[in-house]
Amino acid sequence: MRAAQREMKSRTRAAAANGFDATPVSTARLSAELWSVLKNEKWCLAESRLLSWSARLWPATEHYNFLGHAGAAGVGYTAPAAVGAALANRDKGIVTAVIQPDGDLMYAPGILWTAAHHKIPILMLMHNNRAYHQEVMHLQKMAGLHNRRMDTARIGTAIEDPNIDYAKLASAQGVWSEGPITNPADIGAALGRAMAVVKRGEPALVDVVSQGR
């Protein structure tokens, strides 16, 4: 079993290395960068199913490490659930983080104000793929099924033109923020600064322009 697990981890790391330095930033890179700032903390990843890299690679040892997901692909769950988890974790010395999808945040963006107002420390790393991406892929599949053009799937599903500046959205509501980051080499330093904010008891958001999946 141990050998099989090691083999699985090795294959997953090799898969994570694909496109590791790409722009937009790969989702594996997002996960690896976030681990880099969490690994020496008591940590909680408030939503752990939308992107599986963290669950596949991070060594989880405590019941509070991964909190699952909405179930039934519910959109708009992640941000408020993450802030709720951060509130529960606040007095336990657990650092709460979330890889926050952009479309999900747009369902209830006022949660950022809530986090700032109530001084709920949470580290939000945006997975900003500039779309309701699940819909983009679904519409492509439906277009293929019905012999229609595939290249119109971003109509009504893309969140671009204009691109939303999530760093400004956050700072407008009292949340420390940086971004948008497009160069993966810039993520680590930004997360370090964000973590310092979270460690002093406040929310922080780092916006990273990311691959779709």
Partner 1 sequence: MKYQCYTCHGTVGQGGERGAGPKLAPNPFPWEGFRLQVRTPRQDMPAYRAAQLDDRELADIYAYVISIKPGPAAASVPLLKFD
Residue with tokens 């040892």: 61
We find the least distance from the C-beta atom of residue 5 to partner 1, in angstroms, to be 12
Is 60 a binder of partner 1 (CB under 8 A)? no
State which of residues 7, 8, 22, 92 lies at the interface with partner 1 (CB under 8 A): 22
- Closest to partner 1 by CB, 131 or 169: 131
- Alpha helix stretches (DSSP H) within 20-120: 27-38, 53-57, 78-89, 102-105, 111-117
**Dihedral-angle region of residue 156 (phi above 0 means left; psi in -120 to 50 means alpha; beta otherwise):** left
- Name the token pair of 51: 């992107």
We find the least distance from the C-beta atom of residue 136 to partner 1, in angstroms, to be 5
Q: Are 76 and 100 in contact (CB under 8 A)?
A: no
We find the least distance from the C-beta atom of residue 147 to partner 1, in angstroms, to be 7
Q: Are 113 and 173 in contact (CB under 8 A)?
A: yes
- Name the token pair of 128: 């900003």
Cα(80)–Cα(85) distance, rounded to whole angstroms? 9
Determine the interface stretch with partner 1 among 18-26, 79-87, 110-118, 119-127 (rule: CB under 8 A): 18-26
Is 21 a binder of partner 1 (CB under 8 A)? yes
> Binding to partner 1 (CB under 8 A): which residues in 152-171?
153-154
In the β-sheet with 43-45, what is the strand arrangement from edge to edge?
43-45, 95-101, 123-128, 204-209, 176-181
We find the least distance from the C-beta atom of residue 21 to partner 1, in angstroms, to be 7
We find the least distance from the C-beta atom of residue 101 to partner 1, in angstroms, to be 11
- CA count, 13 A, side-chain hemisphere, 137: 5
> Binding to partner 1 (CB under 8 A): which residues in 68-127?
none
Is 8 a binder of partner 1 (CB under 8 A)? no
Per CB under 8 A, residues contacting partner 1 are 9-10, 13-24, 26-29, 32-33, 35-36, 39, 50-53, 57-59, 131, 133-134, 136-137, 140-145, 147, 149-151, 153-154, 211-213
